[in-house]
Amino acid sequence: MTLHPTTPDFKDNAHRALHDPELQKALGHVQHGFIYKRQSAVERLPEFKTLRESARDLKDHVLKNLDLYLETYERNVAAAGGQVHFARTSAEACETIVNICKSHGAKSVTKGKSMVSEEIGLNAAIEAAGMQAVETDLGEYIIQLRGETPSHIIAPAVHLTKEQVEGDFRRVHTHLDGARDLSEPVQLLTEARGVLRERFLAADVGITGANFLIAETGTSIIVTNEGNGDLTQSLPKVHIVIASIEKVVPTLEDVSLLLRVLARSATGQDMSVYTTLSTGPRRETDPDGPEHYHVVLVDNGRSAMLGTEFEDMLRCIRCGACMNHCPVYHAIGGHAYGWVYPGPMGAVLTPSLIGVEKGGHLPNASTFCGRCESVCPVKIPLPKLMRHWREREFERHLTPAVQRFGLKIWAFFAKNPGLYSFASRAAMSALAWLGRDKGRFASLPLAKGWTDYRDLPAPQGDTFQAQWRKRQKEARR
Amino acid sequence: MSAREDIFANIRRSLGVTGNETTRRGAVAQRLEQTPRGPIPSRGQGSPAARLATFIGEATRVSATVVVLDTAQAVPEEIVRFLREANLPLTLKHGEDARLSALDWQAAGLEVATGRSDGADLNAVTHAFGGVAETGSLVLLSGADNPVTLTFLPDNHFVVLAAADLTSDLESVLVKLRRTGALPRTINIVTGPSRSADIEQTLLLGAHGPRRLHIMVTLN
């Protein structure tokens, strides 16, 4: 049931993305919008640095005691009248949810935004069971109309231009006046609001994800801006929450801490518009809210990450800051990564969840510039984790032969410092001499991948090692 | 083995634990018992007057509108003023909250209905449980007093917040809630009117929830 990953074709995907003019235009919004907004929010809060450290420590504490907090959470959900279901795999999670929907005779299911529901391929499972699944987050709704997957974990339609969205609305909303003006984003938003309002009111089951689960109270939390998640979970008679096991936190205080770093890192807001804590189904005297409350907890490979060098990745609170700041993501967008999670967090998580055989290319697309780690609200050492995947890929002989050969040559020189120094000096002098007129190379043999996109400056002066020795000598004088 | 047993067994195997360690159980029980706070930003702290000023500043920053009223009795007239200015019909829905039921809506010229919303209501008023100065957020509780559908379905959401219920940070209001006993079905922390930036990162107000959020802080 899980979405078929195109991750093994990462190189081709990336190549296509680089040559897609509409995608490149849309990606411009990521670079400029998100980075500036986050920076402004961080500057407005002097305590941000301390908050990040506390957030990291809190998540580490939870992971070390995950079994105990999950037990507490489960007990308290039941005490509030809800029901917790456990699912080892995507297939189990889908089956559980489909069965709950069927047991209530559901025809129409509305959905709030949930990345884990993308991970398990939930929409396809619901449709296969003869029910309709309607995404209600504006971005998710747009990509559902297009039959696409999200290209960003918090801005699923960030790869699209407004003209593309207009085209989709005209194609699908055929009951509306064909001559209507849809040239502005606000007109598109208003149209989606109207269309989806009817879906909210007609739904039998509402499914949301959870940003956090609170052990102390058996509460699930969604954090949204549009209000679609709340309409999804408040109007139908059944509310199903789907969440992965590492989302649990101990107390209300702990959630407050994580909320302070989440929105700032994600969209640069101090708080998202709607932070909703849901505990159990509606009470006897409540005039609204769902009559049934289910939580489906998905493992899908996460328990196996505990106790390994990839445990740090389970701290992730899915803010998207790492991709917003990633030069690779800026260049190719999210779809090239070929599965659900793009950017640096995806490059680390994807091989854990679908296997290094399929996901091993992703950690190779990094310059290790370190921006992702520097903005991560829970301080995940993403470059280090990507390096671990490269090592594993190499150990398991999954690296292509040419690359292995290249690495061997490099290793040979690196282990013979005298030879390395001699060879690099010779190569540099040759390049400096060849490029002496223009000062740069527009093309070089064996380096087309570089020179196709920019010129290589001709080396000037001595090698790094030679300059270093010289400086050391001068400093000693 | 059931999925549940399998997952717990996997977690414990990966962590190298059995689940019966007294030190781990003790640490978890202690955290749940003592509920330690993380660092609290200084932004929302200060005297009640300073907190109110911060609250107004932050709520305005996220496109809510805020007025301060001397008494709750002034609420109906304020809503009428707002609706007239926006050229909207003088209709309003509210729940069973005694503080709202006690107000004289008819005298102000409002046509009032009570109960949950089915999507046909243009305007609604709810009473907040608390407010958070640090972020300009409102804390609303679902239930018969203030049905959750009134917070999300109407186009224009009016919220009454007693100045005495305004706290400096989220922790303070949640602790207050914990002390009142069992939590309601939903706690809605609302920070500004609904919005979306899903189309070309252009921020637009009025996505699926209210287009306007008008907060009335009552001093007495």
**Span B188-219, pLDDT tens digits:** 999 999 999 999 888 999 999 999 999 999 99
Average pLDDT over residues B65-79: 98
Domain ranges across chain B: 1-36, 44-218
CATH of B44-218, one of 3.30.300.180, 3.40.640.10, 3.30.70.120, 3.40.50.10420: 3.40.50.10420
| Cα A280 from Cα B184, distance rounded (Å) | 9
Whether residue A225 and residue B208 make contact (CB cut-off 8 A), yes or no, is no
Secondary structure of chain B as H, E, C letters: CCHHHHHHHHHHHHHCCCCCCHHHHHHHHHHHHHCCCCCCCCCCCCCHHHHHHHHHHHHHHCCCEEEEECCHHHHHHHHHHHHHHCCCCCEEEECCCHHHHCCCHHHHCCEEEECCCCCCCCEEEEECCEEECCCCEEEEECCCCCCHHHHHCCCEEEEEEEHHHEECCHHHHHHHHHHCCCCCCEEEEECCCCEECCCCCCCEECCCCCCEEEEEEECC
Calculate what percentage of chain A has a pLDDT beyond 70. Answer: 99
C-alpha B160: how far from chain center: 11
Whether residue A30 and residue B147 make contact (CB cut-off 8 A), yes or no, is no
**Nearest by CB: B196 against A86, A138, A307:** A138
Whether residue A55 and residue B38 make contact (CB cut-off 8 A), yes or no, is yes
Q: What Rg, from alpha-carbon coordinates, does chain B have?
A: 21
| Cα A85 from Cα A102, distance rounded (Å) | 16
How is the beta sheet containing B65-69 ordered, strand by strand?
B65-69, B212-218, B156-162, B123-127, B91-94, B111-114
| Mean pLDDT taken over chain B | 97
Which residues in chain B are contacts of A54 at CB distance < 8 A?
38-39
Q: Which pairing describes strands A83-87 and A292-298: parallel, antiparallel, or unpaired?
A: parallel
Q: What one-character DSSP code corresponds to residue A364?
A: G
| Mean pLDDT taken over chain A | 94
Q: Is the pLDDT of residue A30 over 90?
A: no
Pick from A234, A60, A454, A6: nearest CA to B151: A234
Helix axes A138-146, A162-172, angle to 10 degrees: 70
Whether residue B38 and residue A297 make contact (CB cut-off 8 A), yes or no, is no
pLDDT of residue A33: 87
Q: What phi and psi values does residue A288 have, to the nearest 5 degrees?
A: -145, 180
Average pLDDT over residues B25-38: 97
**A57 contacts B38 by C-beta, under 8 angstroms:** no
Which residues in chain B are contacts of A193 at CB distance < 8 A?
206-208
pLDDT of residue B10: 98
Q: Which residue has the tokens 């003209």?
A: A163
pLDDT of residue A399: 79
Residue A431 or A296, more confident: A296
Average pLDDT over residues B29-37: 97
pLDDT of residue A461: 76
**How far does the CA of residue B19 sit from the closest CA of chain A (Å)?**
7
Q: Which pairing describes strands A292-298 and A238-244: parallel, antiparallel, or unpaired?
A: parallel
Whether residue B62 and residue A289 make contact (CB cut-off 8 A), yes or no, is no
Q: Is the pLDDT of residue A2 over 50?
A: no
Task: Output the six-digit token pair for A348.
Answer: 């680390």
Listed ranges A27-41, A402-416, B158-172; the one with the highest mean pLDDT: B158-172
pLDDT of residue A438: 83
Q: Is the pLDDT of residue B82 over 80?
A: yes
Domain ranges across chain A: 7-298, 406-476
**A422 contacts A409 by C-beta, under 8 angstroms:** no
**Nearest by CB: B39 against A50, A72, A156:** A50
Whether residue A256 and residue B191 make contact (CB cut-off 8 A), yes or no, is no
Q: Where are the alpha helices (DSSP H) in A19-129?
A: 21-43, 48-64, 66-79, 90-103, 115-119, 122-128
pLDDT of residue A465: 83
From B30, which residue of chain A is nearest by alpha-carbon distance?
A250
At A3, the pLDDT band (50, 70, 90 cuts) reads: low
pLDDT of residue A440: 85
Average pLDDT over residues A233-257: 98
From B204, which residue of chain A is nearest by alpha-carbon distance?
A186
Cβ-count burial B141-159 (b if 16+ within 10 Å, e if not): bbbbbbbbbbbbbbbbbbb
Q: CA-CA-CA-CA torsion for A393, A153, A125, A237, nearest 10 degrees?
A: 150
**A257 contacts A311 by C-beta, under 8 angstroms:** no
Q: Where are the alpha helices (DSSP H) in A104-161?
A: 115-119, 122-128, 138-146
Q: What is the pTM of this model?
A: 0.93
Q: Which pairing describes strands B111-114 and B91-94: parallel, antiparallel, or unpaired?
A: parallel
Pick from A117, A60, A82: nearest CA to A220: A82
Residue A401 or A200, more confident: A200
Whether residue A287 and residue B19 make contact (CB cut-off 8 A), yes or no, is no
Task: Write out the DSSP string of A293-321.
Answer: EEEEEE-TTSTTTTTSTTGGGGG-----H
pLDDT of residue A1: 35
Task: Output the six-digit token pair for B131.
Answer: 């407010």
pLDDT of residue A199: 95
Digit-coded pLDDT (tens) for A163-184: 999 999 999 999 999 999 999 9
